[in-house]
Homo-oligomer: A and B are copies of this chain.
Amino acid sequence: MSKHLVKFLPDDISLTVETGTNVLRAASIAGIEIKSVCGGKGSCGRCAIKVQQGQVRLEGGNRSKKMKEQGLNLACQTFIEGDVVIEVPKDSRLEEHQVVLENENHKVLAESELDLLSGYEFKPLCRKVQLTLEPPTLTENASDLTRLQAELRQKTACKELMVELPVLQQLAEALRQEDWKVTATLACMNGITEIVQVEPGHVQNDGYGLAVDIGTTTVVVYVVDLATGDLVDSRGTYNKQARYGDDVISRMIHAGEKNGLDDLRKAVIGSINELIDKLLEKNNISPDDVHVAVTAGNTTMAHLLLGLPPKYIRLEPYIPTATELPPVKARLLGININPEAWVLSFPAVASYVGGDIVAGVLAAKMAKVEMMTLFIDIGTNGEIVLGNNEFLISCACSAGPAFEGGGITFGMRAMGGAIERVSIDPETFDVSLMIIGNEKPIGICGSGLIDCMAKLHRVGLIDRTGQFFRDKDTPRLRKSEDGWEYVLAWAEESGVDKDVVITEADIKNLLRSKGAVFAGIQSLLKSMQLDVNMIEKIIIAGGFGNYLNVDDAVQIGLLPDVDRDRYEFMGNTSVKGAKLALLSQDAYKECKELGHLMTYLELSAGTTFMDEFVSATFIPHTDLTLFPSLNKDEQGKEVK
């Protein structure tokens, strides 16, 4: 096979690839992350690139008129057949800084984290112990290990002290280097204590741990000081698995291909390592001083991290290899911390209620309070947990990608240029927008979509089924070749040189998404014979919640119509739960119990969910008694 030189601009990175390689793949090898929602199927149109020079073969794929005009091709549909020069526009790139973290106001977070430990003893999974051993003699000639263990037993009350080979291999020199003064690092989990490091001398630092949230879209790493429990720093980035598809399903399919599982494993570990490397360098921490990592992710992400095939998660009856995942040494996973550090995975409940949700329930302390709580994490899947200290029941509903901008004409994630709030004048039907980053609008994010639908309905532009009233007199409402649409921003105001619109098809997609989530909530309530009014607290988890307006969400029938002060936004509960487990051995133990304790309601096994879904694909619902505040507040405008 012949090889060709590919040069990427403006990065000025060159590499050699085999003939027939597509540009998406070549860019990925070169470390250039190109957006790909569809996973290289040619359908999402996000991976636009420009062939500046050289021979390529183009296949089909979904290119917009504008792309054609600008001479842009889809990276996944462009196959290299000679030496080429490829330009990757900024818009096609996944950029790290686009990941919104919560620690923008660092101080506030650090303080709020203090609450996290309430109810738990501060007892981190790892700690350092300084020792001064008696040197051996001809008559006191116990082995190095026996000597160390005896002293540790005396100092810590730990009985069984395990040690693995790599630590043992260094032990003799470590003990003697500073004349029998040493610092031992102990990992305590599952009732077992292991000596994971022995350093010569009395080391001053107390070691660090990582809390890691592995999301389908983003990966977030917290560096935590295990002596104080303080958050040292945090950082997020895109999950590099995105190159194999934006959603979980595309990745599961890729995992079934040759080397696919390994691709995905390496990609997510690459993302985690990138964050770790930067965080540790910035904070001047040696990788060897990081002694434990707790990860939380959905069941598929947890499987991919450990190289477990997700095949049967995808196929009915949706069975994961394991919900309780064994601890694995960092050296086996290739994570850039102390090779002897344990990497722990939060247990899952089922294929579609994963460790991220268990971490969330732990962080929210749902199992510790009497208050009936509803926990909702909305993404491509909506995961919902209902319960209190007496029971916990969970389900997952396929919300589709609409809330994350997928399947929506101008849909995008919540980042600079995204419309997040919409106001529509009820008389003129004119619009004013709020844009993230005060940039020119280039698309609309999930919270913007919800707001937009609420407003379109409130001003009477759409009916309860999401259809436009065709007779409204405004130039913004028009029929294009793809059907009816409403113009949110004219081309001259927008950042994309064309009209930014929301179509009737977009609205129908959104209706299905919100319908699925609400139907999930109703199914859980019905299974426990509870009523929506009995919910005393609703926790909104996940990045989506950062921008969500509860009134809008209630108005379109996405969230239950209860007192707004029962709602609580907890942000990234997955990483918070991981941090809690890191800092409290009891919390870690509890999370393993939670995995067993939480019941899983499989929505596809029965008719309740389907009935509820049909009723919920209206604005706000077929049963208006479920939304009493709407009837009261907006009686005049309620569309029958």
Question: In the complex, what distance in Å separates the CA atom of A91 from the CA atom of B629?
Answer: 101
Q: For the complex, count residues of A whose C-beta is within 8 A of B.
A: 46
Contact with B along A299-324 (1 / 0, CB 8 A): 00000001111011000111111111
Q: Which residues of chain B have C-beta atoms less than 8 A from A118's C-beta? A: none
Quick check: B138 and A172 within 8 Å, CB to CB? no
Is A428 interfacial (CB-CB < 8 Å)? no
A window 318-344: CB within 8 A of B: 318-326, 328, 332
The interface stretch among A44-52, A407-415, A600-608 is A600-608
Quick check: B326 and A168 within 8 Å, CB to CB? yes
Q: Which residues of chain B have C-beta atoms less than 8 A from A317's C-beta? A: 136-138, 141
Is A491 interfacial (CB-CB < 8 Å)? no
Is A114 interfacial (CB-CB < 8 Å)? no
A window 161-181: CB within 8 A of B: 162-165, 168-169, 171-173, 176
Is A527 interfacial (CB-CB < 8 Å)? no
Question: In the complex, what distance in Å separates the CA atom of A306 from the CA atom of B162?
Answer: 16
Question: In the complex, what distance in Å separates the CA atom of A326 from the CA atom of B161?
Answer: 11
Is A139 interfacial (CB-CB < 8 Å)? yes
Quick check: B604 and A309 within 8 Å, CB to CB? no
Quick check: A144 and B332 within 8 Å, CB to CB? no
Q: Which residues of chain B have C-beta atoms less than 8 A from A323's C-beta? A: 142-143, 145-146
Is A362 interfacial (CB-CB < 8 Å)? no
Q: Which residues of chain B have C-beta atoms less than 8 A from A143's C-beta? A: 319-324, 348, 350
Instruction: Give chain B nearest CB distance to A326 CB in angstroms.
Output: 6
Q: Which residues of chain B have C-beta atoms less than 8 A from A163's C-beta? A: 322, 326
Given A311-B172, A312-B172, A141:B306 Cβ within 8 A: no
Secondary structure of the A contact surface, majority rule: loop
Given A143-B319, A321-B143, A602:B169 Cβ within 8 A: no
Given A317-B136, A322-B143, A322-B146, A309:B172 Cβ within 8 A: yes
Given A139-B605, A143-B322, A308:B350 Cβ within 8 A: no
Q: Which residues of chain B have C-beta atoms less than 8 A from A139's C-beta? A: 602, 605
Quick check: A169 and B307 within 8 Å, CB to CB? yes
Nearest B residue to A171, CB-CB = B321
Which one of B141, B145, B168 contacts A318 once the chains associate, using CB atoms below 8 Å?
B141
Question: In the complex, what distance in Å separates the CA atom of A351 from the CA atom of B143?
Answer: 8
Given A602-B138, A602-B141, A162:B326 Cβ within 8 A: yes
Quick check: B602 and A321 within 8 Å, CB to CB? no
Question: In the complex, what distance in Å separates the CA atom of A602 from the CA atom of B136?
Answer: 13
Given A146-B322, A317-B136, A332-B165, A172:B141 Cβ within 8 A: no
Quick check: B307 and A138 within 8 Å, CB to CB? no
Given A136-B317, A317-B137, A306:B165 Cβ within 8 A: yes
Copy tally for this chain in the complex stands at 2
Question: In the complex, what distance in Å separates the CA atom of A247 from the CA atom of B553?
Answer: 80
Question: In the complex, what distance in Å separates the CA atom of A144 from the CA atom of B299?
Answer: 13
Instruction: Give chain B nearest CB distance to A150 CB in angstroms.
Output: 12
Contact with B along A488-531 (1 / 0, CB 8 A): 00000000000000000000000000000000000000000000
Quick check: B164 and A326 within 8 Å, CB to CB? yes
Instruction: Give chain B nearest CB distance to A524 CB in angstroms.
Output: 16
Quick check: A326 and B165 within 8 Å, CB to CB? yes
Given A144-B321, A322-B145, A138:B605 Cβ within 8 A: yes
Q: Which residues of chain B have C-beta atoms less than 8 A from A141's C-beta? A: 317-319, 350-351, 600, 602
Instruction: Give chain B nearest CB distance to A260 CB in angstroms.
Output: 14
A window 262-320: CB within 8 A of B: 306-309, 311-312, 316-320
Instruction: Give chain B nearest CB distance to A212 CB in angstroms.
Output: 17
Given A165-B326, A332-B165, A145:B307 Cβ within 8 A: no
Q: Which residues of chain B have C-beta atoms less than 8 A from A309's C-beta? A: 169, 172-173
Instruction: Give chain B nearest CB distance to A227 CB in angstroms.
Output: 28
Question: In the complex, what distance in Å separates the CA atom of A350 from the CA atom of B141?
Answer: 8
Instruction: Give chain B nearest CB distance to A306 CB in angstroms.
Output: 6
Question: In the complex, what distance in Å separates the CA atom of A350 from the CA atom of B308?
Answer: 43
Quick check: B605 and A145 within 8 Å, CB to CB? no
Given A138-B604, A317-B138, A165:B324 Cβ within 8 A: no
Question: In the complex, what distance in Å separates the CA atom of A328 from the CA atom of B326?
Answer: 17
Instruction: Give chain B nearest CB distance to A372 CB in angstroms.
Output: 25
Question: In the complex, what distance in Å separates the CA atom of A332 from the CA atom of B317?
Answer: 37
Question: In the complex, what distance in Å separates the CA atom of A139 from the CA atom of B602?
Answer: 7
Quick check: B169 and A306 within 8 Å, CB to CB? yes
Interface centre among A143, A308, A348 (most CB of B within 10 A): A143
Question: In the complex, what distance in Å separates the CA atom of A317 from the CA atom of B144?
Answer: 12
Q: Which residues of chain B have C-beta atoms less than 8 A from A348's C-beta? A: 143
A window 116-156: CB within 8 A of B: 136-139, 141-146
Given A138-B602, A139-B602, A172-B309, A319:B165 Cβ within 8 A: no
Q: What are some 10 contacts across the A-B interface (CB < 8 A)?
A: A138-B317, A143-B319, A143-B348, A144-B319, A146-B324, A168-B322, A168-B326, A169-B306, A169-B307, A172-B311
11 further A-B pairs in the complex, CB-CB below 8 A; given A138-B316, A168-B325: A136-B317, A138-B602, A138-B605, A142-B319, A143-B348, A146-B324, A165-B306, A169-B306, A172-B308, A172-B312, A172-B321
